[in-house]
Homo-oligomer: A and B are copies of this chain.
Amino acid sequence: MKGLDFFFRPKSVAVIGASRDREKIGYCVLREMKKRYKGRVYPINPRARSIMGLKCYSSVKDLGDLDLAVITVPCRVVPLVLRECVEKGIEAVVIITSGYSETGKEGRDREEELKRIIRGSRTRVIGVNCLGIYDAYSGVDTLFLPESKFRRPGRGGISFITQSGAFGSTILDLMSFEGIGISKFVSYGNQTDVKENELLEYLDRDRKTRVIVAYIEGISDGRRFMGVAGKAVKNTPVVIFKAGKTEMGSRAASSHTGSLAGSYRIYEAAFKQTGVLEAQSVEEMFDFAKVLEFLKPPKGDRIAVVTNGGGFGVIISDAVIRNGLKLADFSGESRRRLRGILPGYANIHNPLDLIGDADKERYEKALNVLIKDPNVDGVIAIPLLQTFSLEPGVIDVIAGIKKKTGKPIIACATGGGYIRRHLARLEGKGVPAYISPERAVRAMKALVYYGRVKDS
């Protein structure tokens, strides 16, 4: 292990400020860490002998080797315990405590003191003023939010770093609800030591991370960001949501995380130049991330649309064009074959309307034609499962087609519980699925865009 590895795959963890009081952050962190993390966990609290059945220690100095320390004590005690961590040579320290530069001048001074304490040592710090880390694989969990309010997502290939802890927690909760898995989550707070650029670099090299998502208000070092992001995107797609785009938003950001958000135009240009995908809404962050995790980019931007609900064909066509993609022109061969599959009165064009009485066999035949068409780069399928004749087996048909083609297939279906269960089944089989047609198209656009970035 080296560098930031100690944060994510420590062999042992100390929770400094561990507590028996359920209202304390040190209680929550210890409880969540105990749940999933398989290494050794040491509560540190000089006024307790044991907590949650674990023997308590007065100081990290009383322990043997230690990889990660999580500091949850109040501001005024932090310098003391941090100094002990440094003296002990602990590689990784997460400081959850707040009350630093985000609160003004005195807080800034307190934060400077922490920087002085670690300067020249081997100790790296994530925080202050953060939620810290959740690693779905190793079980490291420093998030002090009880599971009753907030469910952790399962394992997956997306890593997510965020400048805002509270924002990050709501998004983790959303991911878990939507069945989107995670690899590593980092709420990095004030970036007292470890900064977003270093995290980006680390995650790009991380084997379990297939997509990086970031919520940022400001960037610590723009020049370095350009280099790091530009290099990362060649292997790992990077999706960024930039908050503080407007003057008012940027003013709000400065009192939130102390970020100097700077001109949004500069960020926009930097994202474009490096090939970072910019999410324009909270939903887009993970709409984009899941398509990039599941699918290889298409070779071009010519999209085939297939549905059994004509209205959705119209809506998707509009969205395809307005998002700068193209509706594929089916080849003569495809048209002939489709003519044999569809009722006589059906129009054979793109969007392909399989007509209201379509069943899963018609879907299968049509999809088999479309994925072989040299004029088609990617497919969006919109199965209206509410219709009379369409069996839920169409889910397996779409997943089966996805397996045997290199062209990306995205699904979309709108509706309630019945639909959502089937969309979840589709995603379980590796087909990204969206509840709204506009979101499905924007995901395809992101995938096309990433294909161009990778090839450039």
A contact residues vs B (CB 8 Å cutoff): 25, 28, 98, 103-104, 107, 144-145, 148-151, 162-171, 173-174, 176-177, 215, 217, 243-249, 251-253, 255-257, 281-283, 308-315, 317-318, 320-322, 327, 345, 347, 349, 351, 353, 356, 384-388, 413-420, 435-438
Contact = CB atoms under 8 A, between A and B. Distances in A.
9 closest A-B pairs by beta carbon, nearest first, are A164-B311, A177-B416, A167-B311, A256-B310, A166-B309, A249-B318, A173-B415, A103-B345, A246-B321
Contact of A166 (B98, B168, B243, B308): B308
A205 to B, nearest CB: 27
A249 B327 CA distance: 10
9 contacts: A151-B417, A166-B384, A169-B387, A173-B415, A176-B416, A246-B321, A249-B315, A255-B353, A282-B315
Q: How many copies altogether?
A: 2
A125 to B, nearest CB: 20
Contacts of A311: 162-164, 166-168, 215, 217, 243, 256
Contact of A145 (B104, B150, B165, B386): B386
A345 B104 contact: yes
Contacts of A322: 245-246
Contact of A282 (B149, B170, B418, B436): B436
A217 B312 CA distance: 11
Given A256-B353, A310-B166, A249 B321 contact: yes
A246 B283 contact: no
Contacts of A283: 436, 438
Contact of A413 (B170, B217, B281): B170
Nearest to A310: B256
A299 to B, nearest CB: 21
A303 B13 CA distance: 46
Contact of A386 (B170, B349, B356, B437): B170
Contact of A249 (B169, B317, B345, B420): B317
A415 B384 contact: no
B318 A149 contact: no
Nearest to A385: B149
Contacts of A252: 310, 313-314, 317, 349, 351, 353
A176 B414 CA distance: 12
B257 A150 contact: no
Contact of A150 (B173, B244, B248, B386): B386
Nearest to A384: B166
Nearest to A241: B315
A117 to B, nearest CB: 23
A386 B169 contact: yes
A17 to B, nearest CB: 14
Contact of A244 (B25, B215, B314): B314
B417 A386 contact: no
Contact of A256 (B163, B251, B314, B388): B314
Contacts of A349: 251-252, 255
Given A177-B417, A345-B103, A417-B177, A164 B318 contact: no
Contacts of A437: 282
Contacts of A98: 356
A146 B88 CA distance: 67
